[in-house]
Chain A
Amino acid sequence: MLRDITLGQYYQADSVIHKLDPRVKLIATITFIISLFVVKNAFGYIIAALFLLSAIKLSKVPFRFMVKGMKTIIFLLLITVIFNLFLTPGEALVSVWKLTITKEGLKSAVFMAIRLTFLIIGSSVMTLTTTPNNLTDGMERLMGPLKIFKVPVHEVAMMMSIALRFIPVLLEETDKIMKAQIARGADFESGNLIKKAKSLVPLLVPLFISAFRRANDLAMAMEARCYRGGDHRTKMKPLIYKKRDAFAYFVLLCYLAICIGANLLVIPGVIL
């Protein structure tokens, strides 16, 4: 049923990672992604892998949920690997017809694959352990300083959370309209791509009209409950840093230091 759809991909569990402040998780994810592109040798990737594995272990989310996210980028991953493999100039290893695999190509293909895989799994750890609501709150707070440059941070966060709230409502509505149109003889299934796209018009038009009507009603209901933007507003669930958050920042800092240290390291005998 459309009603039971869960948004994002939050996985309910009782773990340290779940309890961390969303701001910590956001910053950690960004740091981790940057670190992936900073490290230059295999040693750095081993550290990144260890960091990621311990985060997964601590989050108590089954590993298969992490890999789920990989499915969507498998195609992109393959293309990246193939391009890197064949199109990097350098010392030739194998040569078939016009295609040559070079030593440098092999190296960058492997690194690219590792980077992308870690990137997706790393951000999955964040989205799996943080509710969309918490994530929005965290972003609002992190982007707070942008208010000086007149960026409507609160408004954007409010829009995001309203969108999240209304996605299931609109999905249900889509289902209803679809059934109503099918009952009148509409056909959403058969035909080629163009015909299918055309058949969506009688679905989208009523959906848009109803969405605007809802928006109008909601705006009125919000104003009736004294909503007047982000100023003078207090929070029911304010974000407050706890001890474990400070510790997490410390761990993150250590990780970053080790990564940078690893770059300077040259292990004799290791080619990569």
Chain B
Amino acid sequence: MIAEGSLILFLGFAVLLAIGAPLAVALGVSGAVVIWLEGLGVMSVPTNAYTGIAKYPLLALPVFILAGMLFERAGVALRIVRLASAIVGKRRGAQGIVAILVCMLLGGMSGSGPADAAAVAMVMIPSMFRQGYPKPFSATLIAAAGSTAILIPPSVALIVYSVLVPSASVPALFAGGMIPGVLAGLALIVPTLLLSWKYGWGVQDGEETPPFWTSMKDAIWGLLAPVIILGGLRTGLFTPTEAAVIAVFYGFFVGVFIYRSLSLRDIYRVLVDSAEMSAVVMLIISLAGVFAHAGSTLGAFDAFAELLLGFVDNEAMMLVMVTILLLVAGMLLDAVSVFLIFLPILVPVMAAYHWDPVWFGIVMTMNLAIGQFTPPMAVNLMVTTRVAGVSIEATMRWAVWLALSMLAAVVLVMIFPQLALWLPHALGF
């Protein structure tokens, strides 16, 4: 009863998710119930839960989360904001561009958006407000710019993609995300400038522009972090996990000895918080292993993919459909969760059209990045609106422009795959 089993699997999962079960539990329970009903051997439940996370490449995930959190708590964001303000000065839309650039730089240190977005929002929303930017706009802009963190290496989402699609290696994906990530950030600058000109944001607030050289001296330690992470990966000296660990020790050194902003108690707190944040993600990965085992043994994913392929017979149409699917899914869930749910179905589709796995991973991630700042369930937007003290509804009129602009960047990468593939090829991954 393959069809019946598949139906229970997908429907059970959807119902559990809808009634508010933790995503990990929804995946694990629907998988386990089907395994039990279809007599696939219940011992495979703990086995797959264990082997789902007992993978060396996955080790990079908790360590990059820790590294990102260390830089955040050490106060790197504030110092980079000061430097960026010193460089751009006070012009129309200048602070908006500063916010975008700072988010992108922080994305080069940590692998997930919400924490970066929160850090930048706390520093920048008050000063942007004094220069005339409405708070809902600032919150939206920072949420959108923070979403590039899942594209700009290191990226937790891309690590998970690589674990699920082993033919796309982590270094290749990291290199592949670089140009599209920058492109997505630049795409935000256009509507920011246009809106600033139209509404006259970016007036003098009477505060002094911070001096360039002192700001530079302060920020350089933070700015070196992406160089160390990417440089280590580029030379092939380190595995992604090792590069992450080097970043952790560097962040520790900067936080404790240079900025002196981290006490022993802070360090312990960072360890606890990053461990818990990683655990939440990895439990989903672990129990998604149970779900994937049930689905692939039954042939449910292949059947679903067949259905999709039979429904659409044209490559471009399929890409459009996948994009719409991912945009909607990205509005409801974070990127890692969407990968775990949809990749088993999309991998056969990718194989059918001979799409490059690195390119497809980047396009998927770009789509999901848009979802991170599009209401109703936008993870980044929830963090920044809380910091700004505005409602999510108020951000709607700004979010539309930023989302459309970033969507244009996605379309560019879809039409010109070399935007994602040139750098990994040039670096020889």
Verify that A and B bind, or say they do not. Answer: no
